[in-house]
């Protein structure tokens, strides 16, 4: 009887440990990076092929493009740092959330690469400034996708 009680007690302890692991906040890891990449690509691709977006990228001023960039970063910051969606560990680098850095870095890099790989730069006949504008505009959607897929598990 005593042996069975000990086995029962050890089983309860193991269950408690597993439950604590599940409740622990999610640390930024390679699985999160992979999810951010998937989200960025998934949300960027539909907007990559719209001629309307190419025209906006050609016509938008540098000031407006920077404003779009700052608004995107602001929304991403609010989503990551202030929302209660997901169980994320608060990790910072120089007082900036690490997830914000990874999400924006991945989204902007993926957008620039997709524009190049699919030949949109040549098709739309972008200048270097227009290429940057297109990257910023497409990255708005890529950032949202990267955050969404990373936070919803």
Helical ranges in the chain per DSSP H: 2-23, 30-48, 51-59, 62-77, 98-117, 120-124, 128-151
| Residue at 73 is within a domain | yes
* Structural domain of 36: 28-151
User: Under a CB-based contact definition with an 8 Å cutoff, are residues 87 and 25 in contact?
Assistant: yes
In this prediction the pTM is 0.73
Could you give the 3-state DSSP secondary structure of residue 121? helix
- The number of C-alpha atoms within 13 Å of 79 and in the hemisphere containing its C-beta is 21
| Residue at 22 is within a domain | no
Q: How many domains does the chain have?
A: 1
Cα 22 to the center of its chain, rounded Å? 22
The mean pLDDT value for 5-33 works out to 71
pLDDT tens across 39-91, in order? 888 889 888 888 888 888 888 998 999 999 999 999 888 887 776 655 555 66
């Amino acid at each position: 009887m005593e042996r069975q009680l000990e086995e029962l007690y050890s089983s309860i302890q193991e269950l408690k440990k597993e439950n604590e692991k599940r409740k622990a906040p999610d640390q930024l890891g390679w699985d999160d990076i992979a999810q951010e990449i998937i989200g960025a690509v998934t949300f960027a691709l539909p907007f990559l092929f719209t001629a309307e977006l190419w025209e906006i990228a050609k016509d938008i001023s540098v000031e407006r493009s920077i404003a779009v960039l700052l608004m995107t970063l602001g929304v991403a910051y609010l989503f990551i740092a202030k929302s209660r969606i997901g169980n994320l560990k608060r990790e910072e680098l120089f007082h900036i959330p690490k997830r914000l850095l990874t999400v924006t870095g991945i989204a902007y890099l993926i957008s620039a690469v997709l524009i190049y790989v699919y030949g949109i730069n040549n098709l739309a006949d972008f200048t270097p400034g227009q290429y940057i504008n297109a990257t910023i505009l497409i990255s708005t959607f890529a950032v949202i996708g990267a955050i969404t897929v990373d936070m919803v598990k």
